[in-house]
Amino acid sequence: MSNAVIEAIKDRRSIRRFKPEQITDQELQTVLEAGTYAATGHGKQNPWIVAVQQPDLVAKLSAMNSAIWGREIDPFYGAPTIVLVFTSHPNECTTAVQDGSLVLGNMMLAAHAIGLGSCWINREREMFSTPEGITLMHEFGLPDGLIGIGALSLGYPNGEPRPAAPRKENYFRVIK
């Protein structure tokens, strides 16, 4: 069975090289809106999404992330847009991590569907548990007590991604 959604799922790859041009407002809006349609536990819409396009702030986020990673590289791969996802602490919302993860997944598929590249970036939980990260969350207008779930590097791909690796044997089971 095949359709556009199934093909997008199969074709989407993480992009780790981006052109420097900024994406359009309409493209960004499309990706962000797709994130808001992710399933959330009990329909509570617990996640918060913050898109950052300001170059100085993108550079600051990159430095924070690379310091936690312990590598002096741009962990966002030169993407002109960074999309951060936050949720309540799992002690307050048992589906917090899953909800935020689905938001990121929806946005990656939406980006791919409209010709953008994306890559899921980790270490946001650590970044935003620091005093500097907490200050940034306040500057973003977010409520207290949130945690970082992940981020997306978002932009125009600079080159073609590698093809998908073959799927492992026995990946799933069907019990009837």
Q: Note the pLDDT of residue 163.
A: 86
Instruction: Give the pTM.
Output: 0.94
Domains along the sequence of the chain with CATH: 19-155 (3.40.109.10)
Per-residue pLDDT tens for 22-54? 999 999 999 999 999 999 999 999 999 999 999
Per-residue pLDDT tens for 72-111? 999 999 999 999 999 999 999 999 999 999 999 999 999 9
Angle at 149 between CA 135 and CA 69, to 5 degrees: 75
Q: Note the pLDDT of residue 77.
A: 97
Q: Note the pLDDT of residue 30.
A: 98
Question: Do 154 and 53 meet the contact criterion of CB atoms below 8 Å apart?
Answer: no
